[in-house]
Amino acid sequence: MGEESAITRLREFMRARDWEQFHSIENLIKSVSVESGELLECVQWHGQPDTERVKDELADVLTYCFLLADALGSEPEELILAKLQSTEAKYPVDKAKGRSAKYDEL
Amino acid sequence: MGEESAITRLREFMRARDWEQFHSIENLIKSVSVESGELLECVQWHGQPDTERVKDELADVLTYCFLLADALGSEPEELILAKLQSTEAKYPVDKAKGRSAKYDEL
Amino acid sequence: MGEESAITRLREFMRARDWEQFHSIENLIKSVSVESGELLECVQWHGQPDTERVKDELADVLTYCFLLADALGSEPEELILAKLQSTEAKYPVDKAKGRSAKYDEL
Amino acid sequence: MGEESAITRLREFMRARDWEQFHSIENLIKSVSVESGELLECVQWHGQPDTERVKDELADVLTYCFLLADALGSEPEELILAKLQSTEAKYPVDKAKGRSAKYDEL
């Protein structure tokens, strides 16, 4: 990007405020859930949310997800790609095509 | 990375299964919350979770966050960095240092 | 109680505001999750929450749970008791005593 | 009801399994969120859920809500009624009628 990555900036931000002490694995996990609840609030009463508000709340969920990945010594893209490999095995194209059923109901 | 990015792989995966039809903004938001609940289950009874299980559940939350960002025409890193700028204004280092209080209680 | 029950009062409150139109099963379910996130925020950074704040947030979760039960034609106490019967079969005392493991790991 | 109340039965169930040790305020709050996520899964992809499955998942949310209320020395119905009183003041009928807006946007 030519600029610093998100996780580098997040680490600097937290270190400057001495906030790393609050970022246990458990607290980060709780924070992901808290922020997901605020994201869900964008569609609480209907399915046409304010896009800027969704971006704002999604940014918070992503922030804690990135901090949690970092605390686990992982990178977000790698976690996604590793999981995708196992999901591909569980949902083969021929069985899963066009269906939202859970893999054990396919 | 020398390989395809996570979002490119996710798009291919979804297109191959014809799953894009399920991925409205609202459904993706609900999915982020559903997966956050499974992540939280890792620390439901105590704060020392199985790291591999946390990575696995975090991967699911991240997957839906990346798909949601994509549906909004945004990139995850950009959303995080944009939010960080506004958070920096709300939590100045001198006031926020070492405190977990919400910004309006600083 | 000598007074009106919670669900009777909730129904009157909603009817007076014409809010029943928003209370589809799906919207009530989303609302339970949104409010659970606010409840979780009480323990986001530590395990010693402000008791009055917890009661306040729990009241919101309970409110939507009661409205959802009502929309399903059920009573909260009956739902709990019916579930307890099936849980008793899954977690026999001799196997489950003193363990927080999930029933399929007992 | 002529039978035991839900909270009496829940207390007996937990005591018999020695599970009260896991039921700190924080763990019960996390459990409400975990179960709310499972409830939300019922409407993850569409708004027409299986009613029996919704009842089953709602029963779990209610169970932890009742246990949490009990741990706080409160009764669920009382919490709902107390909150309803303060909500009535925030959402007067003349302003709130037929609108899903948050009270500070009325």
> Distance (Å, rounded) from C-alpha C36 to C-alpha C33?
5
Q: Is the pLDDT of residue C104 over 90?
A: no
Tokens of D3: 């039978």
Which residues of chain A lie closer than 8 angstroms to C44, CB-CB?
Answer: 27, 30-31, 34
What pLDDT, on a 0 to 100 scale, did the predictor assign at position C2?
A: 47
Task: Report the residue of chain D nearest C7, measured CA to CA.
Answer: D77
Q: How confident is the model at residue C56 (pLDDT cuts 50, 70, 90)?
A: very high
Q: Is the pLDDT of residue B3 over 70?
A: no
Q: What average pLDDT does range A35-60 have in this prediction?
A: 97
What pLDDT, on a 0 to 100 scale, did the predictor assign at position B100?
A: 83
The average confidence (pLDDT) of chain C is: 93
- Interface A–C counts its CB contacts (< 8 A) at 39
Q: How far is C83 from chain D (nearest CA, A)?
A: 6
The torsion angle over the Cα atoms of residues A33, C41, A11 and A18, rounded to 10 degrees, is -160
CB C37 within 8 A of CB D33: yes
Prediction ipTM score: 0.94
A19:B79 CB<8 A: no
Tokens of B39: 């992540």
Give the CA distances from residue A59 to residues A55, B76, C61, D8, D86, in Å, rounded to whole numbers and listed in that order.
6, 7, 25, 44, 32
The average confidence (pLDDT) of chain A is: 93
Q: Give me the sign of the Cα torsion angle C50, C56, C57, C58.
A: positive
What pLDDT, on a 0 to 100 scale, did the predictor assign at position D64?
A: 98
pLDDT tens digits along D69-85? 999 999 999 999 999 99
Q: How confident is the model at residue A101 (pLDDT cuts 50, 70, 90)?
A: confident
Q: How far is B27 from chain C (nearest CA, A)?
A: 11
What pLDDT, on a 0 to 100 scale, did the predictor assign at position A60?
A: 98
Spell out the residues 6+ positions from residue A41 whose beta carbon is closer than 8 angstroms to its own.
Answer: A57, C34, C37
pLDDT tens digits along C1-39? 446 899 999 999 999 999 999 999 999 999 999 999 999
> Distance (Å, rounded) from C-alpha B36 to C-alpha A72?
16
> Distance (Å, rounded) from C-alpha B59 to C-alpha A61?
13
Task: Report the residue of chain B nearest C45, measured CA to CA.
Answer: B100
Q: Is the pLDDT of residue B102 over 80?
A: no
Q: How confident is the model at residue D106 (pLDDT cuts 50, 70, 90)?
A: low
Select the more confidently predicted residue: C13 or A104. C13
Q: What average pLDDT does range A42-47 have in this prediction?
A: 96
Residues 18-37 of A with CB under 8 A from C: 22, 27, 30-31, 33-37
Q: What is the CA radius of gyration of chain C?
A: 17
D44:B38 CB<8 A: no
- Interface A–B counts its CB contacts (< 8 A) at 175
A40:C27 CB<8 A: no
C44:A27 CB<8 A: yes
Which residues of chain A lie closer than 8 angstroms to C18, CB-CB?
Answer: none
Q: How far is C69 from chain D (nearest CA, A)?
A: 7
Select the more confidently predicted residue: D3 or A39. A39
Q: Is the pLDDT of residue C92 over 80?
A: yes
B98:A18 CB<8 A: yes
Q: How confident is the model at residue B104 (pLDDT cuts 50, 70, 90)?
A: low
D100:A45 CB<8 A: yes
Q: What average pLDDT does range B24-51 have in this prediction?
A: 97
What pLDDT, on a 0 to 100 scale, did the predictor assign at position A88?
A: 92
User: Using CB atoms within 10 A of its CB, is residue A85 exposed (0-12), middle (13-18) or buried (19+)?
Assistant: exposed
What pLDDT, on a 0 to 100 scale, did the predictor assign at position A4?
A: 83
SS (H, E, C) chain A: CCCCCHHHHHHHHHHHHCCHHHCCHHHHHHHHHHHHHHHHHCCCCCCCCCHHHHHHHHHHHHHHHHHHHHHCCCCHHHHHHHHHHHHHHHCCHHHHCCCCCCHHHC
What pLDDT, on a 0 to 100 scale, did the predictor assign at position D25?
A: 98
Q: What average pLDDT does range B20-34 have in this prediction?
A: 97
Q: How confident is the model at residue A1 (pLDDT cuts 50, 70, 90)?
A: very low
Tokens of C72: 């399903």
Q: How confident is the model at residue B73 (pLDDT cuts 50, 70, 90)?
A: very high
Residues 34-63 of A with CB under 8 A from B: 36-37, 39-40, 42-43, 47, 49, 51, 54-56, 58-63
DSSP state of C72: T
Which residues of chain A lie closer than 8 angstroms to C40, CB-CB?
Answer: 30, 33-34, 37
**The amino acid at C70:** D
Spell out the residues 6+ positions from residue A80 whose beta carbon is closer than 8 angstroms to its own.
Answer: B6, B9, B10, B59, B62, B63, B66
D34:B44 CB<8 A: yes
What pLDDT, on a 0 to 100 scale, did the predictor assign at position B19?
A: 95
